[in-house]
């Protein structure tokens, strides 16, 4: 009796992938990497030096050649700053007013951009042209009229006056309007209207969630603008206890003995909120910039 032999199954091992010849970088790519590395060093080196110098005694800050690692690191500069100066007042006012200004500005700009992008009304082009043309007006031109308006209106309290002038920046409205035109089709809005949603409900439930990338990009820009502003707080605030961080560090820098041992730790601590905002909104910022680049 003959035994039947089972048929052989073909081998399932993948075919070897032919090795590709190694490609050496082109001269253009090498030049690009060298340029990017040089720019990285230009932007990072001052921050690294500031962090290092903030832990040095005052006599070692400007030693030459500069040393990245201090010979005798100390935290005395930070202690003197926090104990001898109202730094936490400056820090708190700057952070809180910048956060309030950012949240309100992002919402107002998104709402105004939605109106300009998706609605037709009388005077739309005129209003948009006036708003857009304000980008060409330097802030120094409106500084004094804005100051008189705030004082005469009785709203010169720093917590209010540092926030209100920046809640509807023209750049933010224009940015939101362009992003909504490119990213939100009218069919989505019509479907929401058919479902019985109100116009403001459409903005809150449909439009606003779709704007996350652009909102993150605008939030980073607005926070930096408000947090780093110097000229407006300089004109508005006279009490040193209510200074913002840029004003506080400026009076330390302009003191008779040039208190670099206090300015440097103050600058390092002042950079923490901006770095945190960038890290928290990094994903939305990159998505917003890449979406604008692709669709633009």
Percent residues over pLDDT 70 in the chain? 89
Write down the domain spans for the chain: 30-74, 92-295
Q: What are the CA-CA distances from residue 264 to residues 3, 52, 149, 258 (Å)? A: 90, 9, 36, 11
CA 21 from centroid of its chain's CA atoms: 43
When pLDDT is cut at 50, 70 and 90, the band that residue 293 belongs to is very low
Q: What is 92-295's CATH number? A: 1.10.3720.10
Percent residues over pLDDT 90 in the chain? 19
For residue 121, give the H/E element and its range: none
- What is the SS3 assignment for 71? coil
Q: Determine the angle formed by the axes of helices 260-280 and 245-253, rounding to 10 degrees.
A: 160
pLDDT for the residue 261: 84
When pLDDT is cut at 50, 70 and 90, the band that residue 272 belongs to is very high
pLDDT at 172 over 80: yes
Task: Give 84-111 pLDDT, tens digit per residue.
Answer: 889 999 999 999 999 999 999 999 999 9
* 131 contacts 172 by C-beta, under 8 angstroms: no
Which pair of tokens denotes residue 79? 């202690």
């Amino acid at each position: 009796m003959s035994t039947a032999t089972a048929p052989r199954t073909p081998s399932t091992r993948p075919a070897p992938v032919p090795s590709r010849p190694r490609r050496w970088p082109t001269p253009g790519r090498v030049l690009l990497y060298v340029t990017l590395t040089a720019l990285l060093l230009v932007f990072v080196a001052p921050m690294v030096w500031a962090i290092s110098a903030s832990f040095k005694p005052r006599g070692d800050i400007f030693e030459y050649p500069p040393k990245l690692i201090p010979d005798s690191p100390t935290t005395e500069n930070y202690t003197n700053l926090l104990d001898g100066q109202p730094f936490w007042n400056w820090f708190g006012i700057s952070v809180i007013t910048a956060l309030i200004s950012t949240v309100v500005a992002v919402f107002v700009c998104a709402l105004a951009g939605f109106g300009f992008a998706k609605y037709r009304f009388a005077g739309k082009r005129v209003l948009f042209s006036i708003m857009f043309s304000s980008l060409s007006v330097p802030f120094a031109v409106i500084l004094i009229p804005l100051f008189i308006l705030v004082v005469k209106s009785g709203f010169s309290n720093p917590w209010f006056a540092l926030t209100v002038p920046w809640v509807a920046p023209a750049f933010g409205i224009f940015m939101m309007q362009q992003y909504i035109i490119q990213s939100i089709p009218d069919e989505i809005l019509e479907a929401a209207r058919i479902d019985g949603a109100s116009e403001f409900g459409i903005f809150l439930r449909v439009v606003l969630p779709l704007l996350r990338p652009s909102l993150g990009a605008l939030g980073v820009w607005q926070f930096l603008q408000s947090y780093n502003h110097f000229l407006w707080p300089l004109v508005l605030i006279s009490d040193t206890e209510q200074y913002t961080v840029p004003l506080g560090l400026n009076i330390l820098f302009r003191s008779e003995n040039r208190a670099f041992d206090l300015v440097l730790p103050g600058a390092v601590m002042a950079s923490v909120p901006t770095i945190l905002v960038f890290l928290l909104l990094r994903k939305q910022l990159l998505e917003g910039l890449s979406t604008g680049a692709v669709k633009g």
